[in-house]
């Protein structure tokens, strides 16, 4: 049984940068085991599945799978899903809404910029785990915070974040969604890296959902709502972030790399 299949580089200044996500539109939900098997076959950090929503004000239901688990929220695969809907499935519109485990999410288009509307997740101090985080990441952060299952390790310099060589077993043992390492940037307001070995992703190239934590933290620390962010993974990615009350707008560019059919 063939299904449409798209691979999109999200939060990417150009093709082969940012974070690649697979997007699979379906007419109805397959068994969870099939969804997980497809994600494992794709072997990308996330595969997004979308189904037309019924009896809902949202346009689609949306779910995300890593190669090993289903996750509650994924930014780059949501951005990629919005890109696919607005360019391949319904090109006559500039916004789309999704219903998900994390509530109602939206993607809007303005020119070549696609923007997520996500809930903000302000972090709170978690200093009791500071020693464990230092051992996991290989360098002691100046502060450790937590929000929504994300750990946020804050450093004073970009070079320290860039040089981290985490112990993945210890990082996984911290639990939760994963660990964000962040610092003030040299060519952007904020830089970060994200590690989630417990979800089958040692280092994620670009993590939109992590910026639901980073944006409120750095907006408060820098005393301004709008930020330019860079995720300094090997592929690298760029994000425009704005805090708006209890919501975060996270913008980036997308590039279609593969389009075809998936046979199940």
| Burial call 59-86: b when 16+ CB within 10 Å, e when fewer | bbbbbbbbbeebbebbbbbbbbbbbbbb
DSSP 202-225: EEES--TTTHHHHHHHHHHHHT-S
- Active site includes 238? no
Q: What distance in Å separates the CA atoms of residue 54 and residue 31, rounded to the nearest whole number?
A: 18
Do residues 241 and 250 lie in contact, with contact meaning Cβ atoms separated by under 8 Å?
yes
- For residue 36 the two structure tokens come to 């997980």
Q: For residue 41, what are the contacts with CB-CB under 8 A and spacing of at least 6? A: none
Active-site annotation holder among 31, 46, 88, 158? 46
Residues catalogued as catalytic = 46
């Amino acid at each position: 049984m063939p299904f449409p299949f798209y691979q999109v580089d999200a939060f990417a200044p150009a093709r082969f940068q940012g974070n690649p996500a697979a997007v699979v539109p379906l007419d109805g939900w397959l068994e969870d085991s099939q969804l997980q098997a497809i994600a494992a076959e794709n072997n990308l950090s996330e595969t997004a599945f979308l189904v037309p929503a019924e009896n809902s004000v949202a346009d689609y239901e949306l779910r995300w799978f890593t190669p090993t688990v289903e996750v509650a929220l994924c930014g780059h695969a949501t951005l990629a899903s919005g890109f696919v809907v607005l360019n391949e499935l319904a090109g006559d519109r500039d916004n789309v809404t999704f219903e998900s485990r994390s509530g109602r999410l939206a993607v809007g288009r303005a020119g070549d910029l696609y923007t997520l509307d996500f809930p903000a997740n302000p972090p709170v101090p978690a200093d009791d785990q500071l020693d464990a985080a230092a051992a996991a990441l290989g360098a002691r952060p100046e502060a450790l915070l937590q929000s929504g299952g994300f750990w946020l390790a804050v450093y004073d310099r970009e070079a320290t974040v860039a040089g981290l060589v985490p112990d993945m077993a210890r990082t996984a043992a911290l639990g939760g969604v994963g660990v964000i390492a962040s610092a003030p940037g040299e060519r952007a307001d904020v830089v970060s890296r994200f590690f989630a070995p417990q979800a089958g992703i040692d280092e994620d190239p670009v993590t939109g959902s992590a910026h639901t934590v980073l944006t409120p933290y750095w907006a408060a620390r820098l005393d301004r709502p709008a930020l330019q962010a860079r995720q300094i993974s090997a592929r690298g990615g760029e994000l425009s972030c704005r805090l708006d009350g209890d919501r975060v707008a996270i913008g980036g560019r997308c590039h279609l790399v593969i389009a075809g059919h998936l046979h199940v």
